[in-house]
């Protein structure tokens, strides 16, 4: 069975990206639906439709849109110095033109962070808040189209839970089903159409063609443009030609929403999640590089045939040889033709004596072509003559297989130790330079792989793994010809029959690859995976294309950045596991430099220092087993390692009363308004320019708001019974404010109810020891033997159970060094990930435990949480803040001094509220 991926609807960065777009349309609530009875023809005249088109409508003025845009861009976000800066800096903003009424918005999100999820959910939110019901997702190629189609189907159950009243119907434009244009516009339900740019870019295509038998005689483009769809552009940097821009304009978009990690033209940028943001926030895998390099040898004979081309005028071959020119020898690309002498062509290098081209044979029926030389040597397409080149490729392939087996073993051990909740099936991806090197049974890469796989599988290190048989563990994902023969076709050329199995398994059965019932582990690809496809469980990527590769490094790495999925459908967030290994043919410094330059060129952000050299940058962590026998450790561990269970004792009446109090003091809900402004313009030699403008006040929007199912929605959001929610709403004084702005009212009420519930739980929670405890032996059994964390975040220590401590933040690093330098602290440790306290909000893992010598000669035992503030209300309450509250109750029961904060000088002292029960 395929793995059913579970989605987290509460990822704050994704919600921020959605809200940034929605804010631009504030004030258009319940005005987003339109009925169109007249079609505007190309000559500007009106043609009365014989049917009503239900579409979108935007009633906001240009000035109101500009205000909304600036509000979204001005939203404050934390700065590195602790202050605040606007979400979008001034230098990344585009001027809003006077009279501009079609918002053209850009959202920048790093590969692997859920871009497709975000824009589909944005469509749902726009439908629910503003009534927009027609959306067209434009993609630059078939590969991306299939990926979006897969996501729309996969996400439907998840979105049904979040938006029970706003279910979408999606369709993929098919020129053989022209009637779908009528289906798209016939009613006010939420419709999403996915269309490949090539399907409507040219004027002479079915999408733009009238046909009296379909759509009432109107062209599909005419009906869809009459509906004024919101156009979502996936990877818009591939839609920059004049023809592409005209095609998108022909849809008469109400708004354009651009989503990419690599925008070329940012337009009105409203949200930005850079590669650095994603990497540092652990939203994607970390990148580790394993380099397999060889010195260049220019002494021998080398002939590599890259491609053979047959034309009516003859057959030629593109090749590379060592050529000497102006005293310098280097590998040079040349074109071979019959009777060419490589001795002359190489600059009279003696090694090429006798290498004249006898004949060039083009491949037929899937067979590889080859070049025949006068000395009897045959060089096949995609092959080089030197054994060193092949030896290098084979060594890289071997390293990729070993890396995969090591990941399989690591995942098995992590599952056994309880560090992940369910198993994970890893995948390895190979990029190759020619299908012919893998597809036939005698393809060199296929033969090498099968031989090396069996060698690695027989290695004693991996004897505990139950790996699939060779026949089912690997496969190639290639485009196929009309005869079903795999061929070298790029992802942009995948049309019609060529989609075939290359996209069937990778696009439409992505979830099946996550299941252990599907034995496939190793995927070979030519170019079908260059864009539009990734899989969260790709842990190893090996590019066997060598210097011939035209794929950008960021493009390669992007296929495996997404966080992995366990077989229970949940994402894995274990940093030790979430590492993408890249097998590189160049040294680490060059790979890292090239990748960093690509990121900097495309995004303007510095990525340096974030890529790990797996040969050199792994840091060993040595467990000091003698410390586990030290009386000070034993005493500390006895006090803090007791497990507890909890009971919740609180009154529903108290929850209701507190919730009512919180809701009654909420900020008053502002009604949705039109804002009236007057621009002061001046006319001079330079033309008409805009000067100051006057705010002429606001006018409330007439008409009642459409009220949602308030009780039903809150029941889904808050863990209170329906009866309790009804009771709270019946007792508040400001229920009428829901009519002014239902969405804002509901968000504030949800927050107030949760605060009231958690406050009562924290007040009434009662922890009791279970009689069980965490065994100290687990430090040996589950010891983290190495880390690839940046060296700057690893602190060498002498007074802990390990020789080094891995820190997650600068605050943790400061505190570790502080404890290490204190003469009165003989022992401290960062509590392991498996040390978790049970709370109503899942497990809580405190940061630190340490022993301090008291001036009177006694030893005190502390547990501390390091945060960036000592004000609990400044923490994220639904995660950090309430867990600290519950942790306080747990440690009070164990009579252990527990506290939180950021100042080491405060954290080292006895906490103000702790009673020592005679210890001091």
The DSSP secondary structure of 641-659, one letter per residue, reads: -EEEEEEE---HHHHHHHH
What does the pLDDT look like over 516-544, one tens digit per residue?
A: 999 999 999 875 455 556 789 999 999 98
Query: What are the structure tokens assigned to 518, written together?
Result: 């599907």
Confidence of residue 479 (pLDDT cuts 50, 70, 90): low
Q: Is the pLDDT of residue 515 over 50?
A: yes
Q: Is the pLDDT reported for residue 701 higher than 80?
A: no
The model's confidence at residue 42, banded by pLDDT at 50, 70 and 90, is very low
More confident residue, 328 or 488: 328
Does the structure show a pLDDT above 90 at 498?
Answer: no
pLDDT of residue 51: 56
Please name the residue that has the structure tokens 């109503």: 840
> Which single residue is written with the structure tokens 């029941």?
715
Q: Is 534 within 8 Å of 388 (Cβ atoms)?
A: no
Q: Assign 676 a pLDDT band (cuts: 50, 70, 90).
A: very low
Q: Give the mean model confidence (pLDDT) for residues 730-742.
A: 88
Mean pLDDT, rounded, for 83-109: 93
Q: Could you tell me the two tokens for 176?
A: 């053989």
The pLDDT assigned to 696 comes to 42
pLDDT of residue 489: 53
pLDDT at 825 over 70: yes
Confidence of residue 345 (pLDDT cuts 50, 70, 90): very high
According to the model, what pLDDT value does residue 473 have?
96
pLDDT in tens, 54-90: 899 998 999 999 999 999 999 988 776 667 889 999 9
Please answer whether residues 788 and 612 qualify as being in contact, where contact means their C-beta atoms are separated by less than 8 angstroms.
yes
Residue range 307-333: mean pLDDT, rounded? 88
Is residue 530 within 8 A of residue 490, CB to CB? The reply is yes
pLDDT tens readout for residues 268-302 = 999 999 999 999 888 999 999 999 886 666 666 78
Where does the pLDDT of residue 684 fall: very low under 50, low under 70, confident under 90, or very high at 90 and above? Answer: very low
In this model, does residue 144 exceed pLDDT 50?
yes
- Distance of CA 279 to CAs 112, 275, 302, 324, 358, Å? 10, 6, 42, 45, 54
DSSP states of 516-542 as a string? Answer: TTS---EEEESSTTSSS---TTEEEEE
Q: Which residue has better confidence, 703 or 2?
A: 2
Q: State the pLDDT confidence band at 30, using cuts at 50, 70 and 90.
A: low
pLDDT tens digits along 156-188: 999 998 888 788 999 999 988 888 998 999 888
CB atoms within 10 A of CB 36: 20
Give the pLDDT confidence of 629-655 residue by residue, as tens digits.
999 999 999 999 999 999 988 889 999
Q: Which pLDDT score is estimated for 685? A: 41
| pLDDT value, residue 873 | 59
- Using CA atoms, how far residue 125 sits from 18, 74, 131, 165, 273, in Å, is 8, 22, 9, 11, 20
Q: Does residue 899 sit in helix, strand or coil? A: strand
CB contact at 8 A, 37 and 48: yes
Nearest to 361 by CA among 319, 317, 303: 317
Q: Which of 460-469, 629-638, 695-704 has the lowest mean pLDDT?
A: 695-704
* pLDDT value, residue 724: 94
Would you say residue 704 has pLDDT above 60? no
Confidence at 387, pLDDT banded by 50, 70, 90: low
Q: Average of pLDDT values for 553-579?
A: 91
Confidence of residue 366 (pLDDT cuts 50, 70, 90): low
* Short-list 869, 871, 850, 867, CA closest to 859: 850
DSSP string, 279-315: HHTTSS-EEEEEE-------SS--EEEEEEEEETTEE
Give pLDDT tens digits for 759-768.
888 888 999 9
């Amino acid at each position: 069975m395929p793995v059913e991926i579970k989605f987290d609807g509460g990822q704050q960065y994704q919600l921020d990206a959605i809200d940034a777009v929605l804010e631009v349309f504030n004030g258009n609530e319940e005005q987003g639906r339109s009925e169109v009875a007249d079609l505007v023809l190309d000559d500007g005249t009106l043609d009365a439709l014989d049917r009503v088109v239900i579409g979108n409508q935007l009633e906001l003025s240009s000035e109101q849109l500009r205000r909304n845009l600036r509000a979204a861009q001005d939203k404050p976000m934390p700065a590195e110095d602790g202050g605040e800066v606007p979400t979008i800096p001034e230098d990344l903003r585009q001027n809003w033109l006077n009279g501009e009424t079609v918002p053209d918005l850009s959202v920048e999100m790093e590969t692997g962070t859920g871009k497709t999820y975000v824009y589909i959910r944005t469509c749902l939110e726009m439908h629910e808040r503003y009534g927009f019901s027609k959306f067209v997702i434009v993609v630059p190629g078939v590969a991306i189209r299939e990926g979006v189609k897969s996501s729309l189907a996969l996400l439907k159950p998840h979105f049904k839970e979040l938006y029970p009243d706003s279910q979408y119907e999606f369709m993929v434009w098919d020129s053989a089903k022209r009637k779908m244009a009528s289906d798209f516009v016939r009613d006010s339900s939420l419709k999403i159409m996915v269309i490949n740019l090539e399907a409507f870019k040219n004027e002479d295509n079915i999408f733009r063609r009238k046909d009296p038998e379909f759509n009432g005689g109107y062209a599909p483009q005419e009906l869809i443009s009459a509906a004024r769809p919101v156009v979502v552009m996936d990877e818009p940097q591939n839609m920059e030609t004049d023809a592409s821009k005209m095609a998108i304009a022909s849809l008469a978009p109400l708004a354009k929403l651009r989503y990419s990690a690599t925008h070329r033209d940012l337009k009105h940028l409203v949200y930005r999640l850079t590669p650095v943001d994603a990497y540092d926030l652990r939203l994607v895998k970390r990148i580790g590089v394993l380099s397999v390099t060889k010195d260049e040898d220019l002494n021998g004979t080398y002939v590599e045939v890259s491609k053979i081309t047959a034309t009516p005028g003859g057959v030629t071959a593109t090749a590379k040889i060592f050529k000497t020119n102006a005293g310098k020898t280097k590998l040079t690309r040349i074109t071979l033709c019959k009777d060419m002498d490589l001795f002359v062509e190489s600059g009279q290098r003696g090694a090429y004596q006798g290498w004249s081209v006898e004949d060039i044979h083009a491949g037929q029926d899937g067979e590889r072509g080859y070049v025949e030389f006068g000395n009897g040597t045959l060089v096949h397409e995609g092959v080089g003559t030197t054994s060193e080149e092949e030896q290098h490729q084979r060594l890289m392939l071997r390293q990729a297989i070993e890396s995969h087996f090591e990941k399989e073993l690591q995942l098995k051990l992590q599952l056994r130790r309880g560090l992940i909740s369910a198993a994970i099936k890893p995948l390895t991806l190979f990029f190759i330079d020619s299908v012919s090197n893998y597809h036939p049974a005698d393809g060199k890469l296929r033969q090498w792989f099968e031989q090396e796989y069996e060698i690695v599988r027989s290695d004693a290190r991996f004897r505990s793994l139950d790996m699939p048989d060779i026949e089912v563990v690997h496969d190639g994902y290639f485009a196929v010809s009309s005869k079903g023969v795999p061929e070298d076709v790029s992802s942009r050329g995948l049309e019609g029959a060529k989609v075939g199995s290359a996209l069937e398994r990778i696009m439409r059965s992505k979830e099946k690859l996550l299941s252990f019932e599907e034995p496939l582990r190793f995927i070979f690809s030519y170019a079908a995976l260059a864009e539009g496809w990734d899989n969260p469980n790709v842990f190893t990527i090996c590019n066997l294309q060598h210097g011939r590769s035209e794929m950008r490094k960021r493009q390669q790495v992007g296929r495996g950045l997404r966080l992995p999925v366990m077989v229970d459908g949940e994402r894995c967030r274990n940093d030790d596991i979430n590492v993408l290994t890249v097998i590189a043919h160049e040294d680490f410094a060059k790979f890292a430099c090239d990748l960093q330059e690509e990121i900097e060129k495309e995004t303007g952000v510095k990525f340096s220092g974030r890529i790990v050299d797996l040969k050199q940058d792994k840091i060993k962590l040595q467990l000091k087993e003698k410390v586990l026998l030290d009386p000070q450790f034993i005493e500390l561990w006895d006090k803090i390692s007791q497990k507890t269970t909890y009971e919740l004792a609180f009154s529903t009446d108290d929850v209701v009363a507190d919730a009512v109090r919180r809701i009654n003091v909420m900020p008053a809900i502002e009604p949705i308004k039109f804002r009236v402004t007057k621009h002061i313009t001046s006319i001079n030699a330079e033309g008409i320019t805009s000067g100051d403008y006057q705010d002429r006040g606001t006018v409330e929007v007439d008409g009642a708001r459409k009220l949602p199912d308030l009780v039903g929605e809150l029941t889904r959001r808050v863990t209170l019974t329906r009866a309790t929610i009804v009771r709270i709403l019946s007792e508040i004084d400001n229920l009428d404010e829901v009519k002014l702005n239902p969405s804002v009212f509901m968000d504030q009420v949800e927050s107030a109810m949760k605060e009231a519930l958690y406050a009562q739980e924290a007040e009434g929670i009662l922890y009791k020891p279970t009689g069980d405890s965490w065994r100290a032996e687990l430090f040996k059994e589950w010891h983290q033997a190495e880390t690839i964390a940046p060296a700057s975040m690893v602190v060498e220590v002498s007074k802990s159970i390990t020789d080094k401590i891995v820190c997650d933040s600068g605050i943790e690093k400061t505190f570790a060094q502080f404890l290490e330098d204190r003469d009165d602290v003989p022992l401290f440790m960062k509590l392991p990930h498996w040390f978790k306290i049970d709370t109503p909000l899942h497990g809580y893992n405190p940061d630190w435990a340490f022993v301090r010598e008291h001036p009177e000669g006694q030893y005190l035992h502390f547990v501390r949480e390091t945060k960036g503030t000592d004000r609990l209300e400044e923490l994220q309450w639904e995660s950090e803040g309430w867990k600290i509250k519950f942790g306080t109750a747990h440690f009070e029961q164990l009579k252990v001094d527990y506290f939180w904060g950021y100042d080491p000088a405060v954290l080292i002292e006895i906490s103000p509220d702790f009673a020592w029960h005679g210890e001091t």
